[in-house]
Chains A and B, each alone.
Chain A
Amino acid sequence: MNGPLLRCVDFVELVTEWMDGELDDATRSEIEEHLVICADCTVFVSQLRLTRRALGDLHEQNMSSVLRDRLLEAFSAWTARGSD
Protein backbone atom coordinates (compact mmCIF):
# COMPACT_ATOMS: atom_id res chain seq x y z
CA MET A 1 0.00 0.00 0.00
CA ASN A 2 1.61 3.21 -1.16
CA GLY A 3 -1.09 5.77 -0.38
CA PRO A 4 -1.55 7.51 2.94
CA LEU A 5 -1.72 4.94 5.68
CA LEU A 6 -4.92 4.21 7.51
CA ARG A 7 -4.83 6.02 10.85
CA CYS A 8 -5.83 4.38 14.12
CA VAL A 9 -8.69 6.84 14.58
CA ASP A 10 -10.25 5.57 11.34
CA PHE A 11 -9.24 1.96 11.90
CA VAL A 12 -11.28 1.68 15.09
CA GLU A 13 -14.47 2.62 13.25
CA LEU A 14 -14.10 -0.27 10.80
CA VAL A 15 -13.46 -3.18 13.13
CA THR A 16 -17.01 -4.51 13.40
CA GLU A 17 -17.47 -4.41 9.64
CA TRP A 18 -14.13 -6.13 9.23
CA MET A 19 -15.03 -8.85 11.77
CA ASP A 20 -18.38 -9.34 9.97
CA GLY A 21 -16.55 -9.68 6.64
CA GLU A 22 -18.46 -6.72 5.24
CA LEU A 23 -15.56 -4.66 3.90
CA ASP A 24 -14.49 -4.42 0.28
CA ASP A 25 -11.16 -6.05 -0.58
CA ALA A 26 -9.17 -2.80 -0.67
CA THR A 27 -10.33 -1.65 2.76
CA ARG A 28 -9.88 -5.12 4.19
CA SER A 29 -6.26 -5.13 3.01
CA GLU A 30 -5.72 -1.73 4.59
CA ILE A 31 -7.09 -3.01 7.88
CA GLU A 32 -4.94 -6.11 7.79
CA GLU A 33 -1.81 -4.18 6.83
CA HIS A 34 -2.46 -1.70 9.62
CA LEU A 35 -2.71 -4.58 12.09
CA VAL A 36 0.72 -5.83 11.05
CA ILE A 37 2.35 -2.56 12.04
CA CYS A 38 0.14 -1.35 14.89
CA ALA A 39 0.34 -3.20 18.19
CA ASP A 40 -2.13 -0.80 19.81
CA CYS A 41 -4.87 -1.46 17.26
CA THR A 42 -4.15 -5.17 17.60
CA VAL A 43 -4.94 -4.78 21.29
CA PHE A 44 -8.09 -2.85 20.37
CA VAL A 45 -9.27 -5.71 18.14
CA SER A 46 -8.53 -8.23 20.88
CA GLN A 47 -10.57 -6.10 23.31
CA LEU A 48 -13.56 -6.12 20.98
CA ARG A 49 -13.23 -9.86 20.34
CA LEU A 50 -13.08 -10.51 24.05
CA THR A 51 -16.06 -8.24 24.64
CA ARG A 52 -18.04 -10.21 22.08
CA ARG A 53 -17.02 -13.50 23.64
CA ALA A 54 -17.99 -12.31 27.10
CA LEU A 55 -21.40 -11.25 25.81
CA GLY A 56 -21.84 -14.59 24.06
CA ASP A 57 -21.27 -16.25 27.43
CA LEU A 58 -23.95 -14.23 29.20
CA HIS A 59 -26.48 -16.61 30.59
CA GLU A 60 -29.99 -15.42 30.64
CA GLN A 61 -30.60 -16.20 34.25
CA ASN A 62 -31.42 -12.85 35.75
CA MET A 63 -35.05 -12.80 34.72
CA SER A 64 -37.10 -11.88 37.77
CA SER A 65 -38.70 -14.88 39.39
CA VAL A 66 -41.95 -12.91 39.31
CA LEU A 67 -41.88 -12.75 35.53
CA ARG A 68 -40.77 -16.36 35.25
CA ASP A 69 -43.67 -17.48 37.44
CA ARG A 70 -46.04 -15.31 35.45
CA LEU A 71 -44.92 -16.90 32.19
CA LEU A 72 -45.17 -20.41 33.59
CA GLU A 73 -48.65 -19.68 34.90
CA ALA A 74 -49.74 -18.38 31.51
CA PHE A 75 -48.28 -21.50 29.90
CA SER A 76 -50.12 -23.82 32.30
CA ALA A 77 -53.37 -21.96 31.69
CA TRP A 78 -52.86 -22.29 27.97
CA THR A 79 -52.08 -26.02 27.98
CA ALA A 80 -54.92 -26.75 30.41
CA ARG A 81 -57.32 -25.01 28.06
CA GLY A 82 -55.91 -26.83 25.06
CA SER A 83 -56.44 -30.26 26.56
CA ASP A 84 -60.06 -29.69 27.56
Chain B
Amino acid sequence: MDLPTELGDEAADSPARIEVSVSHADEVALVEALRAGDQAAFELLIDRHATAMLRVARMYVSTAEAAEDVVQEAWLGVVRGVDRFEGRSSLKTWIFRILANRARTHGSRDGRTVPFSTLRADGDDQATRSVEPGRFKLDGRWAGYWAVPPALLPEDRVLGLELRATLDAMIDGLPARQRAVITLRDIEGFTAIEACEVLGLSDANQRVLLHRARCRVRAQLEALVGDGGPRQ
Protein backbone atom coordinates (compact mmCIF):
# COMPACT_ATOMS: atom_id res chain seq x y z
CA MET B 1 0.00 0.00 0.00
CA ASP B 2 2.95 2.35 0.37
CA LEU B 3 4.20 2.39 -3.17
CA PRO B 4 5.22 5.86 -4.27
CA THR B 5 2.92 7.38 -6.83
CA GLU B 6 4.92 10.03 -8.62
CA LEU B 7 2.93 11.25 -11.52
CA GLY B 8 5.72 12.70 -13.56
CA ASP B 9 7.59 9.71 -14.85
CA GLU B 10 6.69 6.19 -15.76
CA ALA B 11 3.84 5.98 -13.27
CA ALA B 12 1.63 7.99 -15.57
CA ASP B 13 2.12 5.38 -18.27
CA SER B 14 0.85 2.57 -16.10
CA PRO B 15 -2.29 3.69 -14.34
CA ALA B 16 -3.04 0.11 -13.31
CA ARG B 17 -0.19 0.23 -10.83
CA ILE B 18 -1.09 3.54 -9.30
CA GLU B 19 -2.32 3.16 -5.77
CA VAL B 20 -5.45 4.70 -4.39
CA SER B 21 -3.69 6.87 -1.87
CA VAL B 22 -2.21 9.86 -3.57
CA SER B 23 0.36 12.21 -2.13
CA HIS B 24 -0.28 15.90 -1.97
CA ALA B 25 2.31 16.58 -4.65
CA ASP B 26 0.61 14.15 -7.02
CA GLU B 27 -2.65 15.83 -6.38
CA VAL B 28 -1.36 19.31 -7.11
CA ALA B 29 0.15 18.00 -10.34
CA LEU B 30 -3.12 16.32 -11.30
CA VAL B 31 -5.18 19.41 -10.61
CA GLU B 32 -2.80 21.56 -12.64
CA ALA B 33 -2.92 19.09 -15.52
CA LEU B 34 -6.70 18.96 -15.43
CA ARG B 35 -6.90 22.75 -15.45
CA ALA B 36 -4.69 22.74 -18.52
CA GLY B 37 -7.12 20.35 -20.22
CA ASP B 38 -4.70 17.42 -20.13
CA GLN B 39 -6.59 14.34 -21.28
CA ALA B 40 -4.08 11.91 -19.71
CA ALA B 41 -4.80 13.39 -16.29
CA PHE B 42 -8.51 13.05 -16.91
CA GLU B 43 -8.12 9.43 -18.00
CA LEU B 44 -6.06 8.63 -14.96
CA LEU B 45 -8.74 10.07 -12.70
CA ILE B 46 -11.66 8.32 -14.35
CA ASP B 47 -9.82 5.01 -14.36
CA ARG B 48 -9.10 5.50 -10.70
CA HIS B 49 -12.54 6.61 -9.55
CA ALA B 50 -15.34 6.14 -12.06
CA THR B 51 -16.27 2.57 -11.06
CA ALA B 52 -16.47 3.56 -7.42
CA MET B 53 -18.53 6.58 -8.45
CA LEU B 54 -21.02 4.33 -10.23
CA ARG B 55 -21.38 2.29 -7.06
CA VAL B 56 -21.90 5.32 -4.88
CA ALA B 57 -24.39 6.82 -7.35
CA ARG B 58 -26.49 3.68 -7.06
CA MET B 59 -27.24 4.67 -3.48
CA TYR B 60 -29.36 7.48 -4.90
CA VAL B 61 -30.65 6.41 -8.30
CA SER B 62 -32.51 3.29 -9.23
CA THR B 63 -30.93 2.17 -12.50
CA ALA B 64 -27.45 1.55 -13.86
CA GLU B 65 -28.22 3.94 -16.74
CA ALA B 66 -29.16 6.74 -14.36
CA ALA B 67 -25.95 6.08 -12.41
CA GLU B 68 -23.91 6.47 -15.62
CA ASP B 69 -25.66 9.75 -16.34
CA VAL B 70 -24.88 10.94 -12.84
CA VAL B 71 -21.23 9.97 -13.21
CA GLN B 72 -20.96 11.81 -16.52
CA GLU B 73 -22.60 14.92 -15.05
CA ALA B 74 -20.28 14.73 -12.08
CA TRP B 75 -17.17 14.63 -14.27
CA LEU B 76 -18.44 17.57 -16.23
CA GLY B 77 -18.87 19.33 -12.90
CA VAL B 78 -15.29 18.39 -12.02
CA VAL B 79 -13.69 19.76 -15.20
CA ARG B 80 -15.85 22.88 -15.06
CA GLY B 81 -15.17 23.47 -11.40
CA VAL B 82 -11.51 22.47 -11.12
CA ASP B 83 -10.41 26.11 -11.38
CA ARG B 84 -12.25 26.71 -8.14
CA PHE B 85 -10.78 23.67 -6.36
CA GLU B 86 -8.78 25.08 -3.48
CA GLY B 87 -7.36 21.91 -1.99
CA ARG B 88 -9.15 22.31 1.32
CA SER B 89 -10.28 18.71 0.98
CA SER B 90 -8.50 16.01 -0.98
CA LEU B 91 -9.22 15.93 -4.70
CA LYS B 92 -11.04 12.61 -4.43
CA THR B 93 -13.26 13.86 -1.60
CA TRP B 94 -14.08 16.90 -3.70
CA ILE B 95 -14.89 14.71 -6.71
CA PHE B 96 -17.12 12.39 -4.69
CA ARG B 97 -18.88 15.34 -3.07
CA ILE B 98 -19.78 16.62 -6.53
CA LEU B 99 -20.91 13.13 -7.45
CA ALA B 100 -23.11 12.76 -4.37
CA ASN B 101 -24.72 16.16 -4.99
CA ARG B 102 -25.53 15.28 -8.61
CA ALA B 103 -26.80 11.88 -7.56
CA ARG B 104 -29.08 13.37 -4.91
CA THR B 105 -30.54 15.80 -7.42
CA HIS B 106 -31.00 12.98 -9.91
CA GLY B 107 -32.39 10.68 -7.24
CA SER B 108 -35.10 13.10 -6.21
CA ARG B 109 -36.14 13.52 -9.85
CA ASP B 110 -35.98 9.76 -10.12
CA GLY B 111 -38.58 9.48 -7.38
CA ARG B 112 -36.17 7.58 -5.24
CA THR B 113 -35.80 9.05 -1.80
CA VAL B 114 -32.78 8.36 0.28
CA PRO B 115 -31.27 7.57 2.59
CA PHE B 116 -33.94 6.49 5.02
CA SER B 117 -36.12 4.57 2.62
CA THR B 118 -33.15 2.48 1.56
CA LEU B 119 -32.53 1.55 5.14
CA ARG B 120 -35.59 -0.63 4.80
CA ALA B 121 -35.18 -1.46 1.15
CA ASP B 122 -31.73 -2.74 2.03
CA GLY B 123 -33.28 -5.35 4.23
CA ASP B 124 -30.17 -6.59 5.88
CA ASP B 125 -29.32 -3.19 7.24
CA GLN B 126 -31.89 -4.05 9.85
CA ALA B 127 -30.35 -7.34 10.80
CA THR B 128 -28.98 -7.08 14.29
CA ARG B 129 -26.05 -9.43 13.78
CA SER B 130 -23.08 -9.17 11.44
CA VAL B 131 -22.28 -12.86 11.65
CA GLU B 132 -24.86 -15.57 11.15
CA PRO B 133 -26.21 -16.41 14.64
CA GLY B 134 -25.99 -20.14 13.91
CA ARG B 135 -22.20 -19.83 14.00
CA PHE B 136 -22.32 -19.42 17.80
CA LYS B 137 -23.30 -21.83 20.56
CA LEU B 138 -26.81 -21.11 21.72
CA ASP B 139 -26.77 -22.43 25.26
CA GLY B 140 -24.70 -24.00 27.95
CA ARG B 141 -21.60 -22.67 29.59
CA TRP B 142 -20.13 -21.62 26.24
CA ALA B 143 -23.22 -19.85 24.88
CA GLY B 144 -22.12 -16.99 22.65
CA TYR B 145 -18.78 -18.60 21.78
CA TRP B 146 -18.07 -20.01 18.34
CA ALA B 147 -19.85 -23.23 17.44
CA VAL B 148 -18.59 -23.13 13.86
CA PRO B 149 -15.34 -21.16 14.06
CA PRO B 150 -14.13 -18.96 11.22
CA ALA B 151 -12.01 -20.75 8.64
CA LEU B 152 -8.55 -19.59 7.71
CA LEU B 153 -8.53 -17.67 4.44
CA PRO B 154 -5.61 -18.38 2.12
CA GLU B 155 -4.00 -14.98 1.68
CA ASP B 156 -2.57 -15.67 -1.75
CA ARG B 157 -5.98 -16.60 -3.12
CA VAL B 158 -7.89 -13.77 -1.50
CA LEU B 159 -5.36 -11.22 -2.75
CA GLY B 160 -4.84 -12.98 -6.07
CA LEU B 161 -5.89 -11.66 -9.42
CA GLU B 162 -8.39 -14.45 -10.12
CA LEU B 163 -10.64 -13.27 -7.31
CA ARG B 164 -10.80 -9.62 -8.38
CA ALA B 165 -13.89 -10.04 -10.54
CA THR B 166 -15.59 -12.09 -7.82
CA LEU B 167 -14.85 -9.41 -5.24
CA ASP B 168 -16.26 -6.80 -7.60
CA ALA B 169 -19.42 -8.87 -7.88
CA MET B 170 -19.61 -9.24 -4.10
CA ILE B 171 -19.46 -5.47 -3.69
CA ASP B 172 -22.08 -4.98 -6.39
CA GLY B 173 -24.33 -7.46 -4.59
CA LEU B 174 -24.36 -5.52 -1.33
CA PRO B 175 -27.34 -3.38 -0.26
CA ALA B 176 -26.93 0.12 -1.71
CA ARG B 177 -25.80 1.95 1.40
CA GLN B 178 -23.40 -0.76 2.50
CA ARG B 179 -21.99 -0.76 -1.02
CA ALA B 180 -21.49 3.00 -1.01
CA VAL B 181 -19.79 3.01 2.39
CA ILE B 182 -17.44 0.08 1.79
CA THR B 183 -16.54 1.47 -1.63
CA LEU B 184 -15.47 4.78 -0.16
CA ARG B 185 -13.79 3.38 2.93
CA ASP B 186 -12.08 0.22 1.76
CA ILE B 187 -11.67 0.64 -1.98
CA GLU B 188 -11.15 4.39 -2.24
CA GLY B 189 -9.45 4.73 1.15
CA PHE B 190 -11.63 7.51 2.57
CA THR B 191 -11.49 8.23 6.30
CA ALA B 192 -14.68 7.76 8.31
CA ILE B 193 -15.11 11.53 8.48
CA GLU B 194 -14.74 11.96 4.73
CA ALA B 195 -17.18 9.13 3.99
CA CYS B 196 -19.78 10.55 6.39
CA GLU B 197 -19.44 13.96 4.83
CA VAL B 198 -19.81 12.73 1.25
CA LEU B 199 -22.72 10.41 1.96
CA GLY B 200 -24.48 12.54 4.56
CA LEU B 201 -24.40 9.74 7.12
CA SER B 202 -23.93 9.93 10.86
CA ASP B 203 -20.72 8.44 12.17
CA ALA B 204 -22.66 5.66 13.91
CA ASN B 205 -24.55 4.74 10.75
CA GLN B 206 -21.42 4.79 8.68
CA ARG B 207 -19.68 2.41 11.06
CA VAL B 208 -22.58 -0.03 11.22
CA LEU B 209 -22.91 -0.07 7.43
CA LEU B 210 -19.17 -0.57 6.97
CA HIS B 211 -19.06 -3.39 9.48
CA ARG B 212 -22.06 -5.15 7.95
CA ALA B 213 -20.57 -4.80 4.49
CA ARG B 214 -17.16 -6.13 5.52
CA CYS B 215 -18.75 -9.01 7.37
CA ARG B 216 -20.85 -9.95 4.36
CA VAL B 217 -17.84 -9.97 2.05
CA ARG B 218 -15.91 -11.89 4.70
CA ALA B 219 -18.65 -14.53 4.89
CA GLN B 220 -18.72 -14.90 1.12
CA LEU B 221 -14.95 -15.20 0.90
CA GLU B 222 -15.00 -17.79 3.65
CA ALA B 223 -17.67 -19.80 1.84
CA LEU B 224 -15.66 -19.55 -1.36
CA VAL B 225 -12.07 -20.16 -0.31
CA GLY B 226 -12.18 -20.90 3.44
CA ASP B 227 -9.59 -23.48 4.34
CA GLY B 228 -11.23 -26.89 4.44
CA GLY B 229 -14.41 -25.68 6.07
CA PRO B 230 -14.89 -25.05 9.78
CA ARG B 231 -11.98 -25.78 12.09
CA GLN B 232 -12.82 -27.89 15.09
Contacts and interface: CB of A to CB of B under 8 A. Distances in A.
A62 B218 contact: no
Interface in B37-85: 37, 39, 42-43, 46-52, 54, 68, 71-72, 75-76, 79-80
B91 to A, nearest CB: 15
A32 B164 CA distance: 32
B71 A67 contact: yes
Interface residues of B, number: 60
Interface stretch (B106-114, B118-126, B146-154): B146-154
- Taking each of A10, A50, A72, A75, which has the highest tally of chain B beta carbons within 10 Å of its own beta carbon? A75
B94 interface: no
Interface of B is mostly: helix
B193 to A, nearest CB: 11
Nearest to A17: B207
B17 to A, nearest CB: 9
A79 B131 contact: no
B10 interface: no
B150 A44 contact: yes
A71 B46 contact: yes
Nearest to A13: B130
B211 A16 contact: yes
Contacts, number: 150
B57 to A, nearest CB: 12
B79 to A, nearest CB: 5
Interface residues of A, number: 45
Given A7-B144, A12-B130, A13-B129, A51 B218 contact: yes
Contact of A72 (B1, B43, B52, B131): B43
Contact of B207 (A16, A41, A67): A16
B101 to A, nearest CB: 18
Interface in B186-232: 186-187, 189, 192, 207, 210-211, 214-215, 217-218, 221-222, 231
23 contacts: A8-B145, A9-B129, A9-B133, A9-B144, A9-B145, A12-B215, A16-B210, A43-B151, A43-B231, A50-B153, A50-B159, A51-B221, A52-B186, A54-B221, A55-B171, A56-B20, A58-B171, A63-B54, A68-B50, A71-B72, A72-B39, A72-B43, A74-B72
Interface of B: 1, 16, 20, 37, 39, 42-43, 46-52, 54, 68, 71-72, 75-76, 79-80, 129-131, 133, 136, 143-146, 149-153, 155, 158-159, 163-165, 167-168, 171, 182, 186-187, 189, 192, 207, 210-211, 214-215, 217-218, 221-222, 231
Interface of A: 7-10, 12-13, 15-17, 20, 22, 38, 40-41, 43-44, 46-48, 50-63, 67-68, 70-72, 74-76, 78-79, 82-83
The 8 A-B residue pairs with the shortest CB-CB distance, nearest first, are A7-B144, A16-B211, A79-B37, A55-B186, A40-B149, A60-B51, A9-B144, A40-B146
